[in-house]
Amino acid sequence: MGSRALEITIISGEGLRLSPSKRVKKNAFVIVGAEHTQILSSTRMDIDGGSYPTWNDKMFVDIPIQSRFLIVEVQCKSKHQGDLVVGTAKIPVTDFVGGFTPANYLHFLSYRLRDLKGEKNGIINLSIKVKGREDVNSSKFNYLQPRLAAPYKQVDAKRSDIGINVVTGIPVLQKY
């Protein structure tokens, strides 16, 4: 199976809590992975940011084509309890792949984190870029290119002050 190469920058977190009454004080870090894979990437620990950590860590991740979600999990290292899960965001791949977005387009995204009970627990800010295939011979791939189909329409000159002929149309996709 194929994969997609992603460049992910974990920017920052907001309002992180270990419980409703206890804020994260330090040692927050982020783990990124995709469904259908055991390969994970991690940021460094933010030792000073408290419940508003900043990482600005860039990572390169390959996710399988069949993955529908990117999983982002914020954790906090504790002396006595080990690594504690602060919150998780399940990001749909369709938020940054597909549509009319060109390759190498930089998406800035923010997602609500949910704790293990499903309660809201902060926000994660990140950017994602799907790396393009500049080094691959494009003749091997069938890309869909937008093309304008413009049907010709005759307009009555007596009712129109813009001229006799008007072209109307909508964009359609055509395979090359």
Residue/partner pairs of 45-48 with CB below 8 Å, 24 or more apart: 45/77
Q: Same domain for 10 and 58?
A: yes
Domain count, the chain: 2
Q: Do 120 and 160 share a domain, yes or no? A: no
The candidate with the shortest Cα–Cα distance to 89, out of 121, 62, 41, 63, is 121
Spatial CA neighbour of 107 closest among 32, 34, 8: 8
Q: pLDDT digits over 71-86, tens only?
A: 999 999 988 788 899 9
Task: Determine if the pTM surpasses 0.95.
Answer: no
Q: What is the residue-level pLDDT of the chain in tens, covering all 176 positions? A: 688 899 999 999 999 998 888 999 999 999 999 987 788 899 999 998 899 999 999 999 989 989 999 999 999 998 878 889 999 999 999 999 877 788 789 999 999 999 999 999 999 999 999 987 543 333 333 333 333 333 434 444 454 444 444 445 565 665 55
Query: Are both 58 and 103 inside the same structural domain?
Result: yes
Do 16 and 85 lie in one domain? The reply is yes
Asked whether residue 137 is domain-assigned, the answer is no
Is 160 found in the same domain as 102? no
Q: What does the block give as tokens for 149?
A: 């189909």
Residue 115 lies in a domain: yes
Q: Are residues 69 and 98 in the same domain?
A: yes
Note down the domain range covering 155. Answer: 146-175
- The enclosing domain of 101 has a CATH number of 2.60.40.150
Is 51 among the domain residues? yes
Q: Are residues 81 and 156 in the same domain?
A: no
